[in-house]
Amino acid sequence: MTLDELEKVALKEIQARQQIPHTIDVCLGTTCLALQGDKLKAALEQEAARHPVGAKCRVRGVGCPGLCALGPLVAIKPDGLLYKTVKPEDAPDIVNSLDAEPVARLRCDTEQPFFTRQTKIVLENSGNIDPERLEDYIAAGGYQALLKALTEMTPGEVIDEITRSGLRGRGGAGFPTGLKWRTVAKAAGDRKYVVCNGDEGDPGAFMDRSVMESDPHRVLEGMAIAAYAVGANEGFIYVRAEYPLAVKRLKQAITQARGHGLLGANIGGTAFTFRVEVRLGAGAFVCGEETALMASIEGKRGTPRPRPPYPAESGLWRCPTLINNVETFANVPTILRRGADWFAGIGTAKSKGTKVFALTGRVQNTGLIEVPMGITLREIIYDIGGGIPDGRKFKAVQTGGPSGGCIPEQYLDMPVDYESLASVGSIMGSGGMIVMDDTSSMVDVAKYFMEFCKSESCGKCVPCRVGTAQMHALLEAIAAGEGTAHDLERLELLCDMVKHTSLCGLGQSAPNPVLSTLRYFRHEYEARLLNGGSA
């Protein structure tokens, strides 16, 4: 498909849509499906078929609009109505109301800060397109960036554009994306690979799942652009097996794109070829680490290896390999379409663009949000999140999962960017943001994460394998009120040792939840020591 043909498809789709006065969008993300969104969609379809107004409306399954707490969500477009916690029984009322007054009891205010304070780039199509239809993505401007890059830009120009945009890796570490691409592009070798890391293992994070489910073509387009830029012809998307819907939609999207000449051989009539395969993870947190992930794609146990050499020089099957996170790739098409300067205009001096967070825990509006870098934690939790429910008091917010830390109240007005979060002992991480109130004990939270790291340690290097088990045992003793002041000291020493001597990121960051809770909530540890710590 060439750029001209692409525009024709988009035009046709938009015209077809204008023939239909109302579109009823039902969220069919994992969360809303669990809340029986599929039954709701069937009920709406049935009702629309029975009702005379039915000819004027189309019922569509879409991706996640974000406000999971109030699912299943139904949006009426272009009227701009949003209905919350809709049940299949509500279908007649919704269809009946299409040319009349909205159903007041189901309405969800779209002017609330949860919606108005967000800036959507990665999630711009989530909830607005049917992820199972290629035409929907094309009508939203999809694949234009890829075909433009292939026909009007050299690989070097694509890398320049990404570099100028200031995009940094969204997997958590924040490595400059343009620099990574350039390293792979420069690496010698005929065979190169592009790998998309969709092994979202952090408990409490579901950003990548949602992007892959709600807008799979965006990820594929980003990967294809990256492949063109670095000179790769093969790619893999590594997805957790726990995300069956994401796997299904990605595979479907690959077939569709290949059928339309947007993936595979001679993309857009050019000489560029790019083939993508989905590979399933099998439940190992360590596989989110890039060298472990590559071992897993090769069909081996997912154990990391020392770096250097970095994957950019020697990765999959020892070939130069570009590995980026789902969200990083998802930013790429929009950057090329709207320009690096536009993207660089969002965010802070060092952290550009937006970040997607999975806002969960003790907060009113749980769900998926995308905010500009530099927003404060307070704005996220109190404005977008609607504050702490049940009149409880905020205690800490956890970012970065088992590799991150707990941030206490005094830093709520700190801007969210890579450096600020690191300066208070946490990390940006992939985007899990778990709010805790005064009912959560910080010792138990630290113990929870250490238990996680202990069982997820791959066992290859000693500091992580033995250290996490020892730290967990100490935390158990302290939590049970059997720890002494000496145990606390040993815990700190161990944290330091594991942090500095482990082979990979898992071990190096495993002490973070303990260190950050010790730093801000040391009194909670001390209060649980044997005889108040005096023994």
Partner 1 sequence: MPVQPKKQVTPPSEDKRWRLVDATMRRYNYRPNALIETLHTIQETFGYLDKPGLQYVARALRVPYSRVFGVATFYNYFTMKPPGEHTCLVCLGTACYIKGSGELMAELERALGIKAGETTADGKVSLLAVRCIGSCGLAPAGVVDGQVLPKVTATQMLQRLKDGKA
Q: Which residues bind partner 1 (CB under 8 A)?
A: 30-31, 33-35, 68-69, 71, 200-206, 209, 241-243, 279-285, 296-302, 358, 360-362, 366-367, 398, 401, 432, 434, 436, 440, 445, 448-449, 452, 456, 458
With both helix axes pointing from N to C terminus, report the angle between 155-165 and 326-338 in degrees, rounded to the nearest 10: 100
Residue 496: alpha-carbon gap to chain centroid: 30
Find the shortest distance in angstroms from Cβ 342 to partner 1.
31
Closer to partner 1 by Cβ: residue 303 or 334: 303
Of 438, 435, 327, residue with least CA distance to 69: 435
Closer to partner 1 by Cβ: residue 209 or 528: 209
- Show the CA angle centred on residue 456, arms to residues 455 and 461, nearest 5°: 100
Find the shortest distance in angstroms from Cβ 360 to partner 1.
4
Closer to partner 1 by Cβ: residue 280 or 473: 280
Find the shortest distance in angstroms from Cβ 70 to partner 1.
9
Q: Residues 312, 321: contact at Cβ < 8 Å? A: yes
Closer to partner 1 by Cβ: residue 272 or 285: 285
Closer to partner 1 by Cβ: residue 140 or 369: 369
Backbone angles phi, psi at 89, to 5 degrees: -65, -20
Closer to partner 1 by Cβ: residue 85 or 110: 85
- Amino acid sitting at position 188: A
User: DSSP string covering 349-363, please?
Assistant: SSSBSEEEEEEEES-
Closer to partner 1 by Cβ: residue 263 or 445: 445
Closer to partner 1 by Cβ: residue 166 or 361: 361
Find the shortest distance in angstroms from Cβ 301 to partner 1.
4
Closer to partner 1 by Cβ: residue 204 or 533: 204
Q: Residues 198, 212: contact at Cβ < 8 Å? A: yes
Find the shortest distance in angstroms from Cβ 297 to partner 1.
7
State whether residue 505 is helix, strand or coil.
helix
146: left (phi over 0), alpha (psi -120 to 50) or beta: alpha
State whether residue 321 is helix, strand or coil.
strand
Find the shortest distance in angstroms from Cβ 479 to partner 1.
12
From first CA to last CA, the distance across the chain in angstroms is: 76
Find the shortest distance in angstroms from Cβ 501 to partner 1.
23
Find the shortest distance in angstroms from Cβ 409 to partner 1.
17
Residues 6+ apart with CB under 8 A from 50: none
Exposed/middle/buried for residue 525 (C-beta within 10 Å: 0-12, 13-18, 19+): buried
| Distance in angstroms (rounded) separating the CA atoms of residues 321 and 184 | 7
Cis ω before 308 (30° cut-off from 0): yes
Find the shortest distance in angstroms from Cβ 448 to partner 1.
6
